[in-house]
Structure 1
Amino acid sequence: MSTIISACWQYLRAFVLIYLCLFVGNAISALLPITIPGSILGMLLLFALLASQILPAHWVKPGCHVLIRYMALLFVPIGVGVMSYYDELTSQFGPLVVSCVVSTFITMLVVVYSSHMVHRERIIGAPADEETGGKE
């Protein structure tokens, strides 16, 4: 019986913490002069709490596993909502495809450049000006 209560407590704590971050993100979003979705701010808040280890990861892990397990089911209402705009999507198909291709290409370039900068060969223990070849 105590294991059932313990499991229920872990799930309840995980969902309360996740939703608390969501609600705080929505509140911050309402206060900001620019438009940033509250869910994104809540996710960033949750990430910051987990990364700084203020919030232990094992507290939110049970809820995360449930959400990830049923993630495909959570996309059904969004898909149905998109289908209600079928006429608008077909009339704007060309600009949508162009913007997707261009943004994908830009994202790939940024990732390639960032990866190149992060993984470039460095000499361990050398002064900073020797690594750059004396160029500044």
Structure 2
Amino acid sequence: MILAVLILLVAQLAGEVTARSLGLLIPGPVLGLVFLLVALLVFPRLADVVRGTASGLLSHLSLLFVPAGVGVVAHLDVLGANAGPLLAALVLSTLLAIVVGALVFVGVARLTGSGADE
């Protein structure tokens, strides 16, 4: 387990160092995840080492949302004062995401030739 945690942390550290040293807009942990994916593809046995620990971390992923929930509760007055604009932004962004997703789906279907005409 310690080796698996070490592998995960080294991947995150490598991503963080790379992102900061090159001034990339991609967050370090995301870049570290890409590095980990490449390492898992190059060294398939590494997946067996990391699998158990990664599954354990993923099963407790909901704990990472506790700080966000505390932040929401701590700032309920600010959220209440701005409820209208926040609700409008939430609804409009959701509708926009659905429309863009549908348009992309239709565009890809046309490009690949798999459409409703079949």
Q: TM-score, length-normalised on structure 2?
A: 0.69
> 2-side partners of 1:93 and 1:32: how far apart?
39
> 2-side partners of 1:17 and 1:74: how far apart?
20
Residue 9 of structure 2: aligned partner: 19
Q: TM-score, length-normalised on structure 1?
A: 0.62
Residue 58 of structure 2: aligned partner: 68
* 1:30-56 CA distance string (max 9 Å, x none): 224455432233233334444xx1243
Change (3 A) 1:87 1:31: farther
Match of 1:109 among 99, 107, 115: 99
Q: Give the drift of 1:82.
A: 2.9
Give the fraction of aligned pairs with identical amino acids, expressed as a percent. 29
> 2-side partners of 1:34 and 1:98: how far apart?
32
Q: Hey, which of these two has a bigger chunk of helix by percent?
A: 2
Q: Give the drift of 1:16.
A: 1.5
Residue 83 of structure 2: aligned partner: 93
Q: Give the drift of 1:107.
A: 2.2
| 4+ runs deviating over 4 angstroms | none
> 2-side partners of 1:85 and 1:38: how far apart?
28
Residue 54, structure 1, aligned to residue 76, structure 2: no
Structure 2 residue identity aligned to 1:88:
V
Change (3 A) 1:61 1:120: farther
Q: Give the drift of 1:63.
A: 1.7
Residue 114 of structure 2: aligned partner: 121
> 2-side partners of 1:82 and 1:55: how far apart?
42
Change (3 A) 1:96 1:35: farther
Mark the structure with the bigger radius of gyration.
Answer: 1
Q: Structure 2 unaligned segments of length 5 or more: list them.
A: none
Q: Give the drift of 1:65.
A: 0.6
Q: Give the drift of 1:66.
A: 0.3
Equivalent residue runs for 1:39-50 within 5 Å: 39-50=29-40
Q: Structure 1 unaligned segments of length 5 or more: list them.
A: 1-10, 123-136
- RMSD, matched Cα: 2.7
